[in-house]
A and B are shown apart, each in its own frame.
Chain A
């Protein structure tokens, strides 16, 4: 299946801003809204943002999603220890006729 590319790991300091990226192509990221999910070790995923920057109720404004061309980004401001988790992007691929996840980025808060 077509891949969505996410950096395997990102490390940032407490209180800093982390920007996580998800690169696809014109059949997925460049065409449809991207969802971002957070997963802590041993827990199910949690939706942070869908259709590029719609946050479900209860999700902090510190999480902000955007898209430019075939790359989607998730910015996490004011990093907290609890932000340390795996982050996945998810999008519908019109050529595959299937949903596709990125490989995930492990965020470490130093």
Chain B
């Protein structure tokens, strides 16, 4: 069964850092692009970042403003999102999604930025 599992979320203070992880199982992880998408409480979906199967073609949403770094380790079937300078407005459920078809999603990991 194809499965994505995010981890690494938590409650952090503004200005601090956090690293999210996503492990993919049940498919050839290194064949697919991967993405991070977030959803603030009660709000819609917002694409954060994505990268190609080989770690290239990295793209970010404008609101990232150089604060986040996406990466992957295909040997570990893992996708990462390193987040720095977190803001109150970064509070959201962060999902990873498979492929440019966004055909498989994890359950998400919650990031809460609060003082």
Query: A interface vs B, CB < 8 Å?
Result: 1, 35, 37, 39, 44-47, 50-51, 56, 86, 88, 90, 92, 96-104
Contacts and interface: CB of A to CB of B under 8 A. Distances in A.
B26 interface: no
A100 B101 CA distance: 13
B72 interface: no
A45 B103 contact: no
A50 B5 CA distance: 23
B102 to A, nearest CB: 6
B102 A98 contact: no
B105 interface: yes
A102 B108 CA distance: 20
B82 interface: no
B62 A37 contact: no
B44 A1 contact: no
Contact of A88 (B45, B50, B97): B45
A71 to B, nearest CB: 19
A44 B38 CA distance: 11
Interface string B92-115: 000101001111111110000000
Given A88-B45, A98-B61, A101-B47, A50 B35 contact: no
